[in-house]
């Protein structure tokens, strides 16, 4: 299994390197943070430079998230619609190994891009003579965990759905969507008059609440980690939250992995 896993990971990395579409997307996403460096020519105070570093890291991590999701979707769709997957799993290579290699190769790329982004921001700290904030490393860990959840979710959705439907599902079926529905339904419940109407709104709110809490999140402690992102200063409580985030991301990724394996095994090869 080890040799098959390593060979499949290398094959996926070669696919990423040869894909011109992915290269174009990567260049576009790299250019976005680069453009944000232009204001540094005009704002020379330390506070303004620190804000620029925050903006660069924020835009870079957003771009990496989109690129990683594109990697997951394009790789899965390409292999499943071409003969690549059928050839690999009849060598034989078990679907478990094939999907694990897909996860590993995608996360290797995401980790490398995050490392480059953090290194670039670290260089800016040195060049601009701003005291380095070690909390930026915790931000890197948090972003890596978000990438893991996003990559695993996109991979599973692309296995069971058409890519366009998968994109629409990611755009619509989100925590924010159900939270807004809960707010609207709660307002309707407060204005309801009849018993039947109140029962309907109550049942609907409970259904949306169940979906809200059951839906996997790429950022389960987003609000509590806002001080870390605004100051780049590390603290013990935030490190504890990241430890919980590691456990949460591992469980979510494992869930999507096994669901993906189950879907692949049920897929017809002819």
**Averaged pLDDT of the chain:** 81
Output the pLDDT for position 156. 93
Burial class (CB in 10 A: 0-12, 13-18, 19+), 3: exposed
Say if residue 43's pLDDT is above 60: no
Sign of CA dihedral 73, 23, 8, 249: negative
Residue 28 has pLDDT above 90, yes or no: no
Token pair recorded at residue 262? 């189950």
Q: Which of 12-16, 42-46, 161-165 has the lowest mean pLDDT?
A: 42-46
Q: How many CB atoms lie within 10 A of CB 54?
A: 17
pLDDT at 39 over 90: no
Taking only the tens place, the pLDDT of each residue in 100-143 is 999 999 999 899 989 988 998 888 888 888 888 888 899 999 99
pLDDT above 90: residue 212: no
The arithmetic mean of pLDDT across residues 36-41, rounded, is: 56
Backbone phi and psi for residue 266, each to the nearest 5 degrees, phi listed first:
-85, -5
Supply the pLDDT for residue 152.
Answer: 94
Instruction: Please check the confidence at residue 49 and state whether its pLDDT lies above 60.
Output: yes
pLDDT of residue 37: 58
pLDDT tier at 151 (50, 70, 90 boundaries)? very high
What the block records as the tokens of 5 is 């896993």
pLDDT at position 184: 84
CA atoms of 207 and 75, how far apart (whole Å) = 35
Given a cut of 60, whether residue 93 has pLDDT beyond it is yes
Please provide the size of the chain in residues: 270
Phi, psi dihedral angles at 222 (to 5 degrees): -60, -45
pTM for the full model?
0.83
Please tell me the distance from the alpha carbon of residue 32 to that of residue 53, in angstroms, as a whole number.
14
User: Does residue 198 carry a pLDDT above 60?
Assistant: yes
C-alpha closest to that of 138 among 267, 241, 214, 247? 241
Q: Which of the pair, 54 or 213, is modelled with greater confidence?
A: 54
């Amino acid at each position: 299994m080890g040799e098959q896993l390593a060979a499949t990971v290398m094959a996926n990395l070669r696919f990423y390197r040869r894909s011109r579409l992915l290269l174009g997307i990567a260049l576009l996403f790299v250019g976005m943070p680069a453009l944000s460096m232009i204001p540094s020519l005009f704002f020379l105070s330390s506070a303004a430079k620190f804000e620029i570093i925050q903006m660069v890291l924020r835009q870079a991590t957003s771009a990496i998230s989109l690129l990683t999701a594109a990697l997951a979707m394009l790789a899965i769709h390409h292999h499943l619609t071409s003969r690549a997957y059928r050839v690999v799993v009849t060598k034989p290579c078990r679907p478990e190994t094939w999907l694990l290699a897909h996860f590993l190769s995608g996360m290797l790329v995401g980790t490398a891009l995050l490392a480059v982004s953090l290194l670039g921001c670290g260089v800016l700290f040195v060049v601009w003579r701003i005291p380095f904030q070690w909390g930026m490393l915790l931000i890197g860990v948090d972003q890596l965990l978000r990438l893991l959840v996003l990559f695993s979710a996109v991979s599973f959705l692309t296995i069971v759905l058409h890519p366009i439907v998968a994109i629409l599902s990611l755009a619509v079926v989100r925590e924010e969507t159900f939270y807004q529905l809960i707010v609207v339904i709660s307002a309707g419940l407060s204005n309801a008059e009849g018993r039947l109407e109140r029962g309907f709104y109550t049942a609907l709110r409970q259904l949306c609440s169940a979906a809200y809490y059951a839906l996997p999140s790429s950022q389960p402690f987003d609000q509590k980690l806002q001080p870390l992102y605004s100051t780049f200063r590390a603290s013990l409580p935030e490190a504890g939250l990241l430890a919980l985030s590691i456990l949460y991301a591992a469980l979510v990724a494992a869930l999507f992995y096994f669901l993906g394996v189950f879907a692949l095994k049920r897929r017809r090869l002819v």
